[in-house]
């Protein structure tokens, strides 16, 4: 089978190779790939970011977002059957630590990930623990169910804290999940949605996803425009997706006093003046993954019942044999979320 692997410990270092079709262990399932999405963490693995260097054993098939059909199950598997149309959760918690035992398995400190700790989804056939499987309706669109996992982050963020209903919302950083967050916030009743991103293509996509106003943070004053658009009060809820120091500063500048900031991406390090945070008295929610399986129960019907349209996010579809080109499209700013499909 064809598979995209990280093969060498350097920037890039990926290759499409012929690999053996795996055989599922007793607790595993074997899937035939329908579609797989490229995530920001896959991009960081491509760049060989420091946090992955000690953890990954190479070569490793990368990727964790996918939809596919179950073609074999291990003898201990009872939650899915051959023929099921499934998507995958990417967090495999340990199940027995304090966080797991108190209903917070989405932040289990011992979580293992496909594409990082074991082989992932960028392959014609994918073998994973059955515990990661979410069963879709048989007729669900595989292109859209392939990205239920990242959609879940947007849903988790939107419903955290006070939610968004009736509130002024700013989405800071309109990459794929930020764009999904705009659509999800619109569905759950946000009063006004402001998208912030320097990319013209992403700002156009933000408008298509439901943003009332888009701002270029490189050319415009984010704080003044947000305050003007909200009657002088600032954004009630800010979703921070940039992961950049200036993005953090813009988030704090734009949020209303005693508003909420939902951190969905944060810089690895930066100088930070806590005076601004004290002045704003904002509540910060640190968003990680999806609540298992509560978020899936809320997110999946948005796709099945067509409450949101993911088409502006899914910009390219490429065969697995051309997977390296998908990364080139991302780095050149031409792609939102590319999908990989079997040749």
Q: What angle do CA 88, 291, 131 make, to 5 degrees?
A: 35
> How many C-beta atoms surround the C-beta of residue 59 within 10 A?
17
Q: Hey, which residues does 65 pair with through a beta bridge?
A: 37
For 272, the token pair is 């930070």
- Per-residue pLDDT tens over the stretch 230-277: 999 999 999 999 999 999 999 999 999 999 999 999 887 888 888 888
Q: How many residues does the chain have?
A: 343
Q: Could you give the residue range(s) of every CATH 3.40.50.720 domain in the chain? A: 152-286
The correct CATH number of 152-286 out of 3.40.50.300, 2.30.30.40, 1.10.645.10, 3.40.50.720 is 3.40.50.720
For 37, the token pair is 């999405």
Angstrom distances, CA of residue 37 to CA of 99, 160, 311, 320 = 29, 25, 13, 11
Beta strands 316-319 and 338-341 are parallel
Contact call for residues 199 and 218 (beta carbons, < 8 A): no
Dihedral over Cα of 189, 192, 197, 201: its sign = positive
Give Cα 319 to chain centroid, integer Å. 21
- Report the pLDDT value the prediction gives residue 268, as an integer from 0 to 100: 79
Q: What's the order of all strands across the beta sheet hosting 2-6?
A: 14-18, 2-6, 60-61
The correct CATH number of 2-147+314-341 out of 3.90.180.10, 3.40.720.10, 1.10.1760.20, 3.50.50.60 is 3.90.180.10
Phi and psi for 263 in degrees, rounded to 5?
-80, 110
User: Which residues neighbour 312 within 8 Å (Cβ) at sequence distance 6 or greater?
Assistant: 179, 205, 208, 209, 336
Q: Could you give the residue range(s) of every CATH 3.90.180.10 domain in the chain? A: 2-147+314-341
For 237, the token pair is 């809820």
d(CA 149, CA 303): 12
C-alpha count within 13 angstroms, C-beta hemisphere, residue 203: 12
- Report the pLDDT value the prediction gives residue 88, as an integer from 0 to 100: 98
d(CA 305, CA 162): 25
Residues in the chain, pLDDT under 70: none
- Per-residue pLDDT tens over the stretch 28-61: 999 999 999 999 999 999 999 998 998 999 999 9
């Amino acid at each position: 089978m064809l598979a995209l692997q990280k093969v060498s410990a350097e920037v890039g270092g990926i290759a499409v190779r012929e690999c053996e079709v795996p055989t599922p262990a007793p607790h595993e399932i074997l899937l035939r790939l329908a579609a797989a999405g490229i995530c920001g963490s896959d991009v960081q693995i491509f760049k060989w970011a420091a946090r992955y260097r000690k953890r990954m054993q190479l070569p490793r098939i990368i990727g964790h977002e996918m939809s596919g059909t179950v073609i074999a199950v291990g003898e201990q598997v009872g939650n899915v059957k051959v023929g099921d149309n499934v998507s995958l959760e990417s967090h495999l918690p340990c199940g027995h630590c304090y966080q797991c035992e108190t209903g917070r398995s989405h932040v289990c400190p011992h979580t293992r990930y496909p594409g990082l700790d074991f082989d992932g989804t960028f392959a014609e056939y994918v073998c994973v623990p059955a515990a990661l499987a979410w069963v879709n309706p048989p007729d669900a669109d595989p292109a859209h169910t392939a990205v239920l996992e990242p959609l879940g982050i947007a849903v988790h963020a939107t419903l955290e804290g006070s939610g968004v209903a009736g509130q002024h919302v700013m989405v800071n950083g309109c990459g794929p999940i930020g764009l999904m967050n705009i659509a999800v916030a619109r569905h759950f009743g946000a009063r006004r949605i402001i998208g912030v991103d320097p990319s013209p293509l992403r700002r156009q996509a933000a408008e298509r996803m439901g943003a009332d106003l888009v701002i270029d943070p490189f050319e415009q004053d984010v704080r003044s425009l947000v305050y003007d658009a909200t009657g002088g009060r600032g954004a009630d809820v800010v979703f921070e997706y940039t992961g950049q120091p200036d993005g953090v500063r813009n988030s704090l500048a734009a949020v209303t006093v005693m508003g909420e900031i939902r951190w969905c991406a944060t810089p690895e390090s930066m100088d930070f003046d806590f005076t601004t945070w004290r002045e704003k008295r904002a509540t910060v929610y640190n968003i990680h993954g999806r609540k298992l399986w509560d978020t899936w129960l809320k997110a999946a019907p948005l796709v099945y019942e067509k409450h949101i349209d993911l088409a502006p996010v899914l910009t390219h579809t490429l065969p697995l044999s051309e997977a390296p080109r998908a990364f080139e499209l991302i780095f050149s700013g031409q792609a939102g979320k590319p999908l990989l499909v079997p040749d």
